[in-house]
Amino acid sequence: MNSYSSEISGFYKLSISERLKLIKEKVGLTDEETKVLKNFGYFEPESMDILIENVIASYQLPYSIACNFKINGKDYLVPMVIEEPSVVAAASNVARMARKLGGFHCEKIKQVMIGQVQIVKIKNMDDAVRNIEANKEKIIKLANEKDPILIKLGGGVIDLEIRPIETIKGPMIIVHLLVNVLDAMGANAVNTMAETVAPYLAELCEGQYLLRIISNLAIHRIAKCKATFDKDMLGGPQAVEAIIYAYAFAKADPFRAATHNKGIMNGIIALASATGNDTRAIEAGAHTYAALNGYSPLSKFDIDSDGNLIGELELPLAFGIIGGLTKTHPLARISLKILGINSAEELAQVAVALGLCQNVAALRALASEGIQAGHMKLHQRKKQKSNED
Ligand code: MEV
């Protein structure tokens, strides 16, 4: 049992130093520990305090660069925020194997997100569907009027879907607003639009609106990439075959598929963190997509006629380069400069390539020396360093 009570009223109203003092006293932090918390690094404490409530410190992680990436013919140095040893080195190493055979080829990505509006207690489902259909253009116009800047830049609602569903609380209609969010992740624009049209939708359905929120299953924002990895650099035909066996395992077994996909997300989330993107939204979308037809690996593998490994990865990726932390976090802005990126689409293309690369790196290590060897090398380095110090 803790000796303190966690009940604190008005904690959010205190200044950062008052909050820290209170926590120090309650918990019994030492002066040394308090000094660590007081070090905000490159952040202005005030800027943290307006970002989120109850802030007492900032939290730092390693910021690394993965090398050797060539994607759609362009070279990229890829910033990654991740604490796990070997991940960045492995990505750089495997990127070189793809680079030799032309690099990563990523498809164009539509920047379309879904806003969901839930309508319940509907008088007549058929009439409701008909009424929404008949007023589709009016609903789209209503939503678009709410974000004139997005419209001016070429984005906005492009379509509307009507989805009657059966639930444990009876029938409902879920309306999907399909919104081209351009370079944003999109949650703000989409949520505002969903909230705007909900009362009108409820009226058309002679029902009641409830939830109005973006869907993180960004099924219209699918990123796809393909690359061929040099068989000799991978370790020869046996290594390639071993990766195919590893893939077969993941395809047949959800216990393995979860870990297989985790390896993919090691890369994607490290880049999302480095660029100030919403990592939880990306994770949610990826795993739901993987589960659409029974939980499966997000990537697939084959061997080409020369014996090289062909890898493909496909998943929804809601990356933004404007809004939220992408603009306010100093490192997020620097990351975009390092990447030399001008659009959310390009950032998602790098992410999907990095995810595929990370996946190959993990499978290669797992199917040969095992994952611990790389980890232990770094561990050894750490031990050596602390002995030297
Ligand atoms: C560890 O962070 C990631 C791996 O478990 C991925 C995998 O098993 O494919 C090595």
Mean pLDDT taken over the chain: 95
pLDDT digits (tens, 9 = 90+) for 46-84: 988 988 999 999 999 999 999 999 999 999 999 999 999
Dist. CA 361–CA 371, nearest whole Å: 10
Relative orientation angle of helices 254-274 and 344-366, to the nearest 10 degrees: 140
Dihedral angle sign, alpha carbons of residues 205, 211, 212, 213: negative
Q: Ligand 1 centre and the CA of 273: distance in Å? A: 19
User: Of the candidates 58, 59, 43, 54, which has an alpha carbon nearest to the alpha carbon of residue 19?
Assistant: 54
Residue nearest to atom 1 of ligand 1 (CA): 263
Q: Ligand 1 centre and the CA of 262: distance in Å? A: 6
220 is catalytic: no
CATH of the domain spanning 112-215 = 3.30.70.420
Whether 384 has a pLDDT exceeding 90, the answer reads: no
278 is catalytic: yes
Relative orientation angle of helices 237-252 and 344-366, to the nearest 10 degrees: 110
Which amino acid, 68? N
Q: What percent of the chain has pLDDT over 70?
A: 96
Which part of the chain is CATH 3.90.770.10? 63-107+222-388
If DSSP codes are grouped into helix, strand and coil, which group holds residue 100? coil
Tracing tokens 């493909």 back to the chain, one arrives at 312
Residue nearest to atom 6 of ligand 1 (CA): 263
CATH number, domain 63-107+222-388, options 3.40.50.10420, 3.90.770.10, 3.10.20.30, 3.40.50.300: 3.90.770.10
Which part of the chain is CATH 3.30.70.420? 112-215
Q: Ligand 1 centre and the CA of 86: distance in Å? A: 11
User: Of the candidates 171, 169, 167, 140, which has an alpha carbon nearest to the alpha carbon of residue 156?
Assistant: 140
375 is catalytic: yes
127: confidence class by pLDDT, cuts 50, 70, 90: very high
**Radius of gyration of the CA atoms of the chain, in A:** 24
Whether 386 has a pLDDT exceeding 90, the answer reads: no
Dist. CA 223–CA 97, nearest whole Å: 21
371: confidence class by pLDDT, cuts 50, 70, 90: confident
Quote the pLDDT of residue 327: 83
Residue nearest to atom 3 of ligand 1 (CA): 263
Dist. CA 63–CA 81, nearest whole Å: 5
Dist. CA 307–CA 288, nearest whole Å: 33
